[in-house]
Structure 1
Amino acid sequence: MRQTGLAASAGAAWVLLAACLWGLLGIFGKFTQQEGVSPLEIAFWRALLGGGCFALSAGVRRSTLPRGRDLLITGLFGLGGVSIFYGSYQLAVRAGGASLASVLLYTAPAFVALSGWLFWKERLGLRELGAIALTLSGVALISLGGGSGVQVSVLSLGWGLTAGLTYSLYYLYGRVFFERYDPQALYAVALPVGALGLAPFVSFAHKSPAAWSNLGLIALLCTFAAYSAYSLGLRRLNPTRASVIASIEPVVASLLAALLFAERLSALSLLGAVLVVVAALLLSTAPGPQLQPTTHPDALP
């Protein structure tokens, strides 16, 4: 019993570490943008450098790479789940701020529920419908509330919701492939493809040492290390508890954004953010098919 309790405590610590590392993504992204690097270039280097980390890990683990039709689908996933997701998230950080982007990312479970209903004919019960209603209400309150240092606009909401939508693609892809292959092998393919998809839209700029440092931290800490920590946590903790602990991510992002960039959501926006996170928790902890913790956007890339 004592060993089980210690294992659960260790698992919770790993998940908490992962959530904190994911919460740093928008912070490092904003610092990098202040160094003159565009959002899409940040997304490109995150995909390329992060993909290199996953490829090295998959090679050490001697993981089997997808082939044939599975390779094609993984490549298409790389374009939607990496190119568009990475790019839209950094564009959301530029347009609205790190805290707003992090909160809007948690609209993804609502998109998952809707996609399950559309593509798999999964029933939307009262829990799912209530969570979707909470998500819509939360986004509406954020739109009306605004805040100091936070730019709530059609552009910031659009990019943030696009990030949430493309985050949900991880569920559609993951429910089939994450049981079939080592996820790190899948990321080793998807991330470089995502970088290639971004490359034509990137205007590469001269980067200072500080910019390169931030890009390296995004790839190593916010991408590869965060996923690895979360995986270690899931070996010792059930997925429901892990989902609850991981929901601290937008809290970490918002606190750091307030401290470092003077981003402060208004009381109305904070209420909206709470509704979005509560809706995500309702869907993530629901019985049956759901957005599994192993498909967290920043656990993958």
Structure 2
Amino acid sequence: MSRLQVLLAAFCFGTTGTAQALGLDASSVTVGAVRIAVGALLLLAAEWAVKRRRAGRGGEGSEVRRLAWPLRPLAVGALGVATYQLCFFAAVKDTGVAVGTVVALGSAPALAGLGGWLLDRRVPDRAWAIATALACAGVATLALGGGGASDVSVVGVALAVGAGASYAAFTLASKRLLDQGHQVEPVMARLFGFGALLLSPILVLGDVTWLTSAGGAAMALWLGAVPTAIAYILFASGLRHLPANEVATLTLAEPVTAALLGAVVLGERPGPTALVGIVMILAGLAVLAAPRQRRPRAVPTSTAEAPVAPA
């Protein structure tokens, strides 16, 4: 169930590009900032509704309020929300959509695994390594098959790695807060709320006149509701029960969704190379979804360790 929640979140993430393509021609940076702001408001509303419902069922909300909110995970998570938007869009502008997307999405699972090992001494298992290798190779193949061609920029690649690191930091910080007992909605509401505050200068200084049109408002509402509020509630619900590195790998289903929606909604036709990439990503996700084999218990070798038969 937890893996399905993360995959559903990745499906919601994958609608972002199609929504922007169907919407107005606006600056990607301002669209990203508006998306986070609308999503934060919806997440705060979801937190309020859930807290009210729990309080009505016996005061569970007061128990949640007494939990301390550690500053470091909150700051790291909010910074991850904000810097991902800035780094990713800057990377795509500098080095192209294909390279920027591949490096950002491909580096996030590896960096999340490294961060989990450094912070929690949790060594990723072999299934995760195989799945991540397959999925990242599939993302690269899918991007190449999409026909994206651009000169590789060192600065652009560095920005894309920064986006991957931001996403990994957000995932690890969210996992830390969830493991401490905080509920899904308050965690996401706070991280995106503080992230929106960090991005507020973009809303003040950038051109957001596109919001005054019906199409612009509809695009902002969709991006804030589906690939942000709904998606990250599903994402955090799965993250509560799964390692952060595995969740980061599962979200690589996002480009598959984007490619399929592009074909169905926008009339794009992925070529054979892109189809191979989709199959590779799905194969990697299947490795993660496969049940793990438990190690058999050691059989006692000495009579002292052997169990005594009942009389």
Q: TM-score, normalised by structure 2?
A: 0.65
> Is 2:198 the counterpart of 1:193?
no
Distance 1:160 1:280 in 2: 23
**1:88-127 → structure 2 map (5 Å cutoff):** 88-90=87-89, 96=96, 101=101, 105=105, 107-127=107-127
Residues 205 and 247 (structure 1), Cα distance of their counterparts in 2 relative to 1, 3 Å cut: closer
**Counterpart AA for 1:58:** E
**Structure 1 match to 2:215:** 210
> Is 2:32 the counterpart of 1:43?
yes
Distance 2:126 2:8 in 1: 33
User: 1:183-225, CA deviations, whole angstroms, 9 ceiling, x for partnerless residues?
Assistant: 2112222112212222334512311321121011111122223
Distance 2:76 2:235 in 1: 25
Identity between Structure 1 and Structure 2 (%): 24
The structural deviation recorded for 1:268 is 3.5
The structural deviation recorded for 1:66 is 8.8
Gaps of 5+ in 1: 1-7, 288-301
**1:1-301 → structure 2 map (5 Å cutoff):** 18-32=9-23, 35-62=24-51, 64=64, 70-80=70-80, 82-90=81-89, 96=96, 101=101, 105=105, 107-131=107-131, 133-134=133-134, 137-138=137-138, 141=141, 145-148=144-147, 150-151=148-149, 154=152, 161-179=161-179, 180-201=181-202, 203-207=206-210, 208-228=213-233, 249-261=254-266, 263=268, 265-276=270-281, 278-279=283-284, 282=287
Distance 1:75 1:224 in 2: 19
User: 1:13-51, CA deviations, whole angstroms, 9 ceiling, x for partnerless residues?
Assistant: 97776554332122223444xx23211211111111111
Residues 219 and 65 (structure 1), Cα distance of their counterparts in 2 relative to 1, 3 Å cut: farther
Gaps of 5+ in 2: 52-60, 293-311
The structural deviation recorded for 1:162 is 4.2
Residues 50 and 170 (structure 1), Cα distance of their counterparts in 2 relative to 1, 3 Å cut: same
Q: Would you say how many aligned residue pairs link Structure 1 and Structure 2?
A: 269
Distance 2:6 2:126 in 1: 29
Higher-Rg structure is 2
**Counterpart AA for 1:253:** A
**Counterpart AA for 2:167:** Y
Distance 1:93 1:30 in 2: 16
Secondary structure at 1:114's aligned position in 2?
helix
Answer yes or no: is the 8 Å Cα contact 1:29–1:93 preserved in 2.
Answer: no
Answer yes or no: is the 8 Å Cα contact 1:44–1:195 preserved in 2.
Answer: yes
Cα RMSD over matched residues? Answer: 4.4
